Structure 1
């Protein structure tokens, strides 16, 4: 949890420094925030073992930032952060969460209108005070109001990726108590929905009272909503609600099935139970007063004549019908969390990433991958140090040299004997649908990803035509983050998705499922639509750091929610089959 707390502070420092237009430092703090979020080991444990020297080995952490991490670990505060808040007391994180509102705009709004938070911003926009400011105008004011309305529709839920480390920490905390037999998250988290309302944890124990007391003394909270002998509800200091329930072991499966949901799935399963003369609740499956199942989910489903259904599929979208053992069709064999053989959307230090190609490849090998694709940004994306044609050719030579080096080394090893680094790019789809890199250079790549990074507010017809033109380029293999959304910040592009799918099928273009927690794009519904249209997909992390390769889990979860099978996802395939599929 310390990693997440520090990441949030450094992200805020980055924003405060950007507001003051301090050169270079905002990016440095942002990089460290990303590195800490994806760091597998607790930063406190690193410091305890290796001191400040160990902290300095974290990607992006130099002597100055290591000193600030040490300060936080010792005092719980960072003086620089407190000074920045005092200098400009605005909720910079809340305000910059709006689409189109950056740190510089926040600074202007504070200096000229003393706007400190979202409420004050909305009040000023509705009073038409923003349009009167220099360089703002009526259009900017209207865009701000639209962004506020979008944010309101999505408030109250947390991103799956933001809440995930806390859930795993709470699970571990309870396991380490020595008081419990079983523990599992439930609710929308267990179904791996892209956003999560609150955290539900189910526990079995011989001593429920001690479990409740232990949880209260070990989980930092700001408000206790309720406390009983077998349940507590509280608001954590990180701003989300947690329910911990201690249930009898004989009812663990039925409680897990009930609290996992979804509500619609549970209504449908209870209806099936009633039709069979049974009663299903969180306490078990009953025939009259006799409990006939409850200890495991499998026995609950089986007793109702159903196959067990993966939590990610429990949305009452046809899964119950296919789970019926009498149904000639069966549930799809959705991909597993260990089925991915490589990640093809990874950035290196050539375009501003934190690690070299060799370091990214070594991390992929440690994960058991057979291949990794280096897809650096291209020249139209100046903010990400995009590469031009000459730089791409130089980078490709480095990849060739590394492959020769790995081939010589791996021939002596049993693990990953044929590991390969693939040459790729994440090229830019320009406003007219053309690609920002010459075709003769694109043709030298093992694969080409193309994505939209500018001009995102085109009308439906023009945006659709733009995407289709890009897919018709014979060098374009993959479309990255196809709908362009940023969760809780930016909606999808205006696009005719059916026409888009048809063109993808006709051109053999692969659609990306971005595992990046703020994107998860394609979403579960569009994954299922793509599968039904016969369009192949790929799950990528968009990693700019070797630790971010582990974000793959979030993309796999969305693919499972969209009922994708191994044959639908091309990076479940071995290298030879994968390369043959590209254009």
Structure 2
């Protein structure tokens, strides 16, 4: 958790420096922040074991940044950054987070309208003051309002990836420091929803007092909101609420079912229980006539007693899962262990932060059978997209690395879908690639008909294999572009093309509802991490979570195919034209 705090501080300092017109230092701070957030080890342990030298061994962390980290670890603040905040208009860092506002526009808003906070900005938008500024206009004002709404929503709830990391940190801490038999998280986190409000945890322990004492005294707890014998709530640094309950072993399954939710699923389950002569609560399943508990310790037994297949947490949204479970018609959902490879990965050849060989080695260590290297194509200048000569250099590097590892490496590219639906490399180059992930990276505000035609044209291209992050959204930052997804799904099926489920926690694109709809058309999917570093490869679990929420099975996802079967599929796609 402290790693994320330090990363946030560095990113905030970078925002303020950008606002002040400093050029190179913000990039350095952001690179260090990214590497610190990617660490698998608590940075405090690195400092305790190896001192400043250990911090400087982190890529991107030089002597100056290492000193800032040490100061924060020892005092809880960085004096230089505190001065920066004092000397800059309040809220500058927050304002820069509003999509569509860069440092120059923020500076203009501060200087000409005295806007210092997001609240000030919203007020200025609502009073139509923004459109009067040179370089803004009515359309810009409308877009800023949309970005403000997204920003506010994203700060009410946290991304799945952040919540999972925090929950796992708390789990590990409690397992290491208290006497307990069992601990797990529940709520929307267990259902793998894309955003999470609070974190709920359940514990079985013969010493609840010790558990509560350990919990409220966590090093990362900013304050204790409540403390009791069997339930306590702490607020972590960053304002995240974590609620922990100690429950009796005989009620653990019922409590897990209840606190996992969703609310609508639980209401339907209680109604079903009543119809069968039972009463279901967080304490157990009881006979309505005698009040005798018949189930409670085991969650699966509760579903079984009510005549249902066990319903996995990801399906518990009251979207037909109870009726299907009653008929024994729930699908056998895809598992993380079914995944054999990752088909959307970036390296230092474009905007990735780890080398091609480092990514290959990490994927092999995960037990993958294959990996596709898919750096950006030439139009993506902001992401250091590859020119054709650079792409050929990468092929040579892949050939070299392939001889040193057992994992199979596909030569791929994430190729821009241009405004007219054409692809960003000529056909002769695309034909030489093993796999092409086509993605929209521009023109997100295009009219619905225009965007649909653009995507359809790309899906009809002979050398397009996978449509990357198909709706273009960034959770809490950018809404999906407007497109007729029924037409997109139908075109994909008719042309044998694959739709990506982008597992990056900022995207999770397609979302669960679009996955459900696409599955009805018979679409095949590819779950990929869009990794920009070795640590990002672990994002696969989030993509699998969304796939499970979309009722997908092993057969729906091509990443479960053997290498030979995958290569045959890719050949078949290109033979269709």
Does residue 85 of structure 1 match 2:73? no
Report the Cα offset of residue 485 of structure 1: 0.8
User: Could you say which residue in structure 1 is the equivalent of 2:24?
Assistant: 24
Tell me how far apart the structure 2 counterparts of residues 40 and 579 of structure 1 sit (CA, whole Å).
34
Report the Cα offset of residue 31 of structure 1: 2.2
User: Could you say which residue in structure 2 is the equivalent of 1:358?
Assistant: 357
User: Could you say which residue in structure 2 is the equivalent of 1:413?
Assistant: none
Report the Cα offset of residue 222 of structure 1: 5.0
The 8 Å contact of residues 178 and 214 in structure 2, kept in 1 or not, is answered as: no
Does residue 332 of structure 1 match 2:331? yes
Tell me how far apart the structure 2 counterparts of residues 374 and 560 of structure 1 sit (CA, whole Å).
26
The 8 Å contact of residues 20 and 104 in structure 1, kept in 2 or not, is answered as: no
Residue by residue over 1:421-464, the C-alpha shift from the partner in whole angstroms, topping out at 9 and shown as x without a partner, is 11111111111111121111111111001111111101110000
Report the RMSD for the aligned CA atoms in angstroms.
1.7
Tell me how far apart the structure 1 counterparts of residues 63 and 542 of structure 2 sit (CA, whole Å).
33
Tell me how far apart the structure 1 counterparts of residues 85 and 430 of structure 2 sit (CA, whole Å).
47
Does residue 580 of structure 1 match 2:572? no
Which stretch shows the higher mean deviation, 44-53 or 444-453?
A: 44-53
Corresponding residue SS for 1:84: helix
Corresponding residue SS for 1:338: helix
Tell me how far apart the structure 2 counterparts of residues 457 and 274 of structure 1 sit (CA, whole Å).
50
Residue by residue over 1:155-182, the C-alpha shift from the partner in whole angstroms, topping out at 9 and shown as x without a partner, is 5211111222111111122212332211
Does residue 555 of structure 1 match 2:554? no
Does residue 11 of structure 1 match 2:11? yes
Residue by residue over 1:174-201, the C-alpha shift from the partner in whole angstroms, topping out at 9 and shown as x without a partner, is 2123322111111101111001111111
- When residues 434 and 231 of structure 1 are mapped into structure 2, their CA distance, relative to the original with a 3 A threshold, is same
Tell me how far apart the structure 2 counterparts of residues 216 and 92 of structure 1 sit (CA, whole Å).
33
The 8 Å contact of residues 35 and 547 in structure 1, kept in 2 or not, is answered as: no
User: Normalization by structure 2: what TM-score?
Assistant: 0.95
User: Could you say which residue in structure 1 is the equivalent of 2:433?
Assistant: 445
The residue correspondences of 1:46-445 to structure 2 (distance < 5 A) are 46-152=46-152, 155-218=155-218, 220-222=220-222, 224-287=224-287, 288-324=290-326, 327=327, 329-406=328-405, 417=406, 419-445=407-433
The residue correspondences of 1:400-549 to structure 2 (distance < 5 A) are 400-406=399-405, 417=406, 419-549=407-537
Corresponding residue SS for 1:564: coil
Report the Cα offset of residue 499 of structure 1: 0.3
- When residues 567 and 7 of structure 1 are mapped into structure 2, their CA distance, relative to the original with a 3 A threshold, is same
The 8 Å contact of residues 221 and 234 in structure 2, kept in 1 or not, is answered as: yes
Tell me how far apart the structure 2 counterparts of residues 234 and 53 of structure 1 sit (CA, whole Å).
34
Corresponding residue SS for 1:394: helix
Residue by residue over 1:72-113, the C-alpha shift from the partner in whole angstroms, topping out at 9 and shown as x without a partner, is 223222233223212213324432333312233222222322
- When residues 338 and 382 of structure 1 are mapped into structure 2, their CA distance, relative to the original with a 3 A threshold, is same
Structure 2 runs not aligned, ≥5 long: none
| Number of equivalenced pairs | 569
The 8 Å contact of residues 2 and 220 in structure 2, kept in 1 or not, is answered as: no
The 8 Å contact of residues 389 and 438 in structure 1, kept in 2 or not, is answered as: no
The 8 Å contact of residues 60 and 354 in structure 1, kept in 2 or not, is answered as: no
Structure 1 runs not aligned, ≥5 long: 407-416
